[in-house]
Structure 1
Amino acid sequence: MPLLLLTLLTLVVLAAVFLPPAWRRHRREKIQQQPFPAAWRHILKQRMPYFRALPADLQLQLKKLIQVFVAEKQFVGCAGLTVTDEMKVTIAAQACLLLLNKPAHYYPKLQQILIYPAAFVVPAQQSDAAGVVSESAQLRLGESWQTGQIVLSWVDTLHSAAICNDGHNLVIHEFAHQLDQLKGQATGAPLLRSTEAYQEWSQVLSREFEQLQRQLAQGLPTLFDAYAATNPAEFFAVISEVFFEQPDLFAAQHPALYQQLRSFYALDPLSWVHTHPASHH
């Protein structure tokens, strides 16, 4: 595809994503003008130690993002689960970390968040070398669908929120996929601002992805979970978890990759981890 056409297509998609109609902007402004509920503040303090590590301006921004997210998304309890404000706010707070410092778009394709009490079973098909297809069941903690749904295990969502420096966060992982899926199928390259940004992203992430695969093949220790080597889409989701949860190790061991995510997310978690070290542990 010619570069000019690619750039034009990117601009059209960006405009569709980042420029909501005037009525929606007005409604969101009204929601954000309302006081942040005291009960929700208590949930953040109790369930999300990461929130305390954020600088004050980002805390305020995050609260406004949470208000709109909770108002606009449908939360559905599965397998008999009753959805509570605690679930909505805990999920929204982690999901909205990925939206800080950017034109607010609130995951425009996402309509529903389906919440299971714990890990859930999904049917899967596998084919062997002879092409024989067998049906099986897989246990999942979360999924992100292009059709406008995210599925989460509540137990694992809580665990992810509570331990904010182990490099694993289910909600960040699935919502990184959702960002990747804004343009269609998840490929490991979310919407970027320019053709040059895509070229740089592709070079750095491809190099790092291949390096991870080589390290795993040689049995070497890696900062990123082995699941990241599955494909570029999973690589992007896993490194997003580590970017927010272990920025110090990430920046030290993978500086070029860290810079790509810092530019994409318009955030530098390294700066607030060291400003508020006690809050992050």
Structure 2
Amino acid sequence: MNTILFFLIPLFIIVVYFIIRGNPFKSKSIPTLSAAETDQLSQHVHFYQQLSPVDKGKFEDKIAVFLSYVRIEGIDLEINPLDRVLVASSAIIPVFGFEDWKYKNLSSVLLYPDTFNKDFQFEGAERNILGMVGEGYMNGQMILSRSALLHGFSNAVDKENTAIHEFVHLLDKSDGATDGVPDNLMKHEYAVPWIKMIHQEMQQIEKGKSDINPYAITNEAEFFAVVSEYFFENPKQLKDKHPELYQILSDTFLQDLASK
């Protein structure tokens, strides 16, 4: 009798544990995209269109996971499948080279109809902001202009994409400082050469001898975000005109886009 109890008591404890906590071996549901979202991805995202069938599936999976933990909310507009796909693509494109990346510093993306001002108003004067990463009480949120979001994916070979720009700021910020040196991504030995390269290129921009958007000279963080836009939007041109800059970004993002 004692022998039977010796085996039954632990079994009873295990059964009760599974009832209370749930079966840890039960597979969790895997997020997937809707048919409408996949269709929008195929039609509007050039980065996705250039991928192999295997990598397309990987991209879709990463987007579905992103949409499962980041809310996309419309301010005075209704969110549609294209909005969701473009916001998520903007997030995944910069981190596609990484096996597993989660934006731990982001909980929601607020989509405004158009440009807005520093007080987050999209009506009235001084509405010149296309996107921004929230600070202070807005920490963990990103604000994007829907018109800027759509424009960023309307031309596959320009050098500008506001949403990618803002997500690169989040990557930069993930090490605790938005300073243009993404310590969580960039190899340590690249940090000093990168800072030197930033300031050399800023001088060229100031002299009118560079095709990089002049907004890049605002500070090191904006330089990183601006040239990252260039890298993802027109990698072959960046490699042709700025080979050293291209190479360090390619090594940082683990993507050699110019070879595709």
After TM superposition, the score normalised by the length of structure 2 is 0.80
* CA separation of 1:30 and 1:265: change in aligned 2, threshold 3 A: farther
Q: Which contiguous aligned blocks of 4+ residues in structure 1 show a shift greater than 4 angstroms?
A: 26-30
Please name the residue that 2:12 is paired with. none
State the secondary structure of the residue aligned to 1:121.
coil
Match of 2:96 among 100, 105, 121: 100
Match of 1:163 among 139, 155, 158: 155
State the secondary structure of the residue aligned to 2:103.
coil
State the secondary structure of the residue aligned to 1:202.
helix
- Cα distance in 2, alignment partners of residues 162 and 193 from structure 1: 30
**Number of positions where the alignment pairs a residue of Structure 1 with one of Structure 2:** 228
* CA separation of 1:194 and 1:48: change in aligned 2, threshold 3 A: closer
- Cα distance in 2, alignment partners of residues 28 and 226 from structure 1: 50
What stretches of structure 1 of length at least 5 have no aligned partner?
A: 1-25, 125-135, 273-281
Please name the residue that 1:149 is paired with. 141
The answer to whether the Cα contact below 8 Å between 2:115 and 2:127 also exists between their aligned partners in 1 is no
Q: Give the RMSD, CA atoms, in angstroms.
A: 2.4
* CA separation of 1:101 and 1:50: change in aligned 2, threshold 3 A: closer
After TM superposition, the score normalised by the length of structure 1 is 0.74
Please name the residue that 1:54 is paired with. 51
Q: How far does the alpha carbon of each residue in 1:47-91 deviate from its partner, in whole angstroms, 9 at most, with x for none?
A: 22332122333322211110011110011211x112223211121
Which is higher, the Rg of structure 1 or of structure 2?
2
Match of 1:44 among 18, 41, 44: 41
Could you say which structure has the greater relative contact order, defined with CA pairs below 8 angstroms and 6 or more residues apart?
1
Matched-pair identity in %: 30
Which amino acid is the alignment partner of residue 108 of structure 1?
Answer: K
Which amino acid is the alignment partner of residue 48 of structure 2?
Answer: F
The answer to whether the Cα contact below 8 Å between 1:176 and 1:240 also exists between their aligned partners in 2 is yes
The answer to whether the Cα contact below 8 Å between 2:133 and 2:142 also exists between their aligned partners in 1 is yes
* CA separation of 1:65 and 1:195: change in aligned 2, threshold 3 A: same
Q: How far does the alpha carbon of each residue in 1:218-240 deviate from its partner, in whole angstroms, 9 at most, with x for none?
A: xx4x3211111111111111100
In terms of fraction of residues, the more strand-rich structure is 1
- Cα distance in 2, alignment partners of residues 197 and 226 from structure 1: 24
Match of 1:197 among 184, 187, 190: 190
